[in-house]
Amino acid sequence: MENTQLEKILKNYQYQDFNLLAILQDIQAIENYLPRGTLEELAKRLDLPLARIYKLATFYRAFSLTPRGRHLVTVCTGTACHVRGAALILDTLERELEIKPGETTPDREYTLETVNCLGSCALAPLLIIDSKYHGKMLGTKALSLLKGEEKDVSEGS
């Protein structure tokens, strides 16, 4: 992140370290992750130990310390989804995107993740693309959704 951009964020929060969480959220929203260089600059500007910033940055799942794709693709691999074919969906997506869970495509379009049960087991197997739930998923349907060729009718929120 450019220093001028960071400066603008810090100004919005009056350079107060009690706003650290909100500052990190703003950086994450702009960059889609928390770049190390920006966190180092932030530590300097707020006169905080870098370790304190990292502690917060690693505590919340919403933050990522590695670059994330424009689209977040999450496959639920909890028990109900697993018995209904989640592994096949994951395998299809891994082959299509050529990445493993936790990785991002080199063009930074997609990040693939797995999660354990989102409490919507009736929709199993469940695929989430950019916070949109797509239930009763199939590998082929997952590919169509990814390519924007199909609109899922069973999506919740």
Residues forming contacts to ligand FES in the complex (CB under 6 A) are 76, 78-81, 117-118, 120-121, 124, 126
What gap in Å lies between CA 66 and CA 61, rounded to an integer? 12
CA dist 145 → 6, 129, 139 (Å): 35, 8, 10
Cβ–Cβ under 8 Å, residues 88 and 45: no
Taking the complex as a whole, the smallest distance from the CB of residue 101 to ligand FES amounts, in Å, to 15
Neighbours of 151 (CB within 10 A): 9
Q: Which is nearer to ligand FES, 42 or 128 (CB)?
A: 128
Q: Which is nearer to ligand FES, 23 or 127 (CB)?
A: 127
Taking the complex as a whole, the smallest distance from the CB of residue 55 to ligand FES amounts, in Å, to 30
Q: Which is nearer to ligand FES, 42 or 86 (CB)?
A: 86
Taking the complex as a whole, the smallest distance from the CB of residue 76 to ligand FES amounts, in Å, to 3
Q: Which is nearer to ligand FES, 116 or 140 (CB)?
A: 116
Closest C-alpha among 3, 155, 148 to residue 70: 148
Taking the complex as a whole, the smallest distance from the CB of residue 97 to ligand FES amounts, in Å, to 20
